[in-house]
């Protein structure tokens, strides 16, 4: 009961902060997710050290933070994406810096440094462009994504607890079941139907396609993060969120799904 209370309190505070920051302005959203990006990168690099890797934690975190900030500026000011050209030499500086570190397995260290940026900072950076897909800042699409992901997770947990028998991916996550996944999808589509009537900046068809992406890729993203933790023999990615683990635990579905949502919206827009 104490753990349940802790999880509920943490989840309530997390949702309130996330929704308020996203709703209020692009600045408050950017400030919140800048912190989330930095913490998520540091958490990823700290986890990778458990397997004996020595990523460039400071250089990788600073590069990821710059990637996030650059995308925030570009999305808000409608600048051309060529402004990101500066990131190309910064990425290659990671290779040069490794020359001076005198660590074992240098290219493994480089790989994990760049992987953290690719896995954590890039998806969070793409959120800026989704928020500005209509030409000006609008929280509606991102709100919809939050609600769909949360309803899918909650529905999967409830349905899995009540009816789960057939394991979805036992090698990676023994607790997940097909029954839970189906239950989560049903609840998520019901929420999508409600959302498509509230938020009309995109069509109902778009909402259902986005929901499908979030349900399928979000579930796989959860499994990918579980695979990473299992390879390191750890239960949670961190302890920042009492009862929920760390940043990667909280955003695992989002990190994998957002690039697909971004690609759909921009290809559809074009």
Confidence (pLDDT) at 111: 95
Which tens digit of pLDDT belongs to each residue from 15-72? 899 999 999 999 999 999 999 999 999 999 999 998 888 999 999 999 999 999 999 9
Taking 80 as the threshold, does the pLDDT of residue 243 lie above it?
Answer: no
Which tens digit of pLDDT belongs to each residue from 112-136? 999 999 999 999 999 999 998 888 8
The residues spanned by each domain of the chain are 26-136, 137-270
Taking 60 as the threshold, does the pLDDT of residue 1 lie above it?
Answer: no
Q: What is d(CA 43, CA 246) in angstroms, rounded to the nearest whole number?
A: 8
Q: Which neighbouring-strand residues pair with 167? A: 177
End-to-end distance of the chain based on CA atoms, in angstroms? 51
Q: What is d(CA 145, CA 202) in angstroms, rounded to the nearest whole number?
A: 13
Confidence (pLDDT) at 175: 82
Which three-class secondary structure state does DSSP give residue 245? Answer: strand
Inter-residue contact 43 to 238 (CB < 8 Å): yes
27 phi/psi in degrees, rounded to 5: -65, -45
pTM for this one? 0.91
Confidence (pLDDT) at 107: 94
Which tens digit of pLDDT belongs to each residue from 199-239? 988 999 999 999 999 999 999 999 999 898 888 888 878 77
């Amino acid at each position: 009961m104490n753990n349940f209370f802790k999880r509920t309190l943490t989840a309530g505070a997390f949702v309130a902060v996330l929704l308020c920051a996203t709703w209020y302005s692009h600045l408050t959203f950017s400030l919140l997710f800048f912190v989330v990006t930095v913490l998520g990168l540091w958490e990823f690099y700290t986890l990778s050290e458990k397997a004996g890797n020595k990523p460039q934690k400071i250089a990788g975190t600073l590069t990821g933070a710059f990637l996030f900030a650059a995308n925030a500026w570009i999305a808000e000011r409608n600048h051309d994406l060529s402004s990101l050209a500066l990131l190309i030499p910064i990425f290659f500086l990671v290779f040069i810096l490794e020359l001076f570190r005198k660590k074992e397995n240098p290219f493994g260290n480089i790989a994990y440094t760049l992987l953290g940026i690719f896995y954590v900072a890039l998806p969070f950076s793409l959120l800026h462009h989704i928020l500005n897909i209509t030409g000006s800042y609008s929280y509606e699409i991102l709100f919809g994504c939050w609600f769909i992901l949360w309803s899918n997770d909650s529905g999967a947990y409830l349905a899995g607890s009540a009816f789960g028998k057939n394991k979805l991916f036992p090698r990676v996550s023994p607790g997940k079941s097909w029954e839970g996944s189906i239950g989560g999808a049903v609840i998520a589509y019901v929420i999508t139907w409600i959302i498509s009537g509230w938020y009309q900046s995109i069509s109902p068809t778009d909402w259902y396609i986005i929901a499908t992406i979030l349900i399928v890729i979000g579930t796989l993203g959860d499994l990918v993060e579980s695979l990473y933790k299992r390879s390191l023999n750890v239960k949670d990615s961190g302890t920042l969120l009492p009862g929920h683990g760390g940043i990667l635990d909280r955003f695992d579905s989002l990190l994998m799904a957002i690039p697909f949502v971004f690609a759909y919206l921009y290809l559809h827009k074009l």
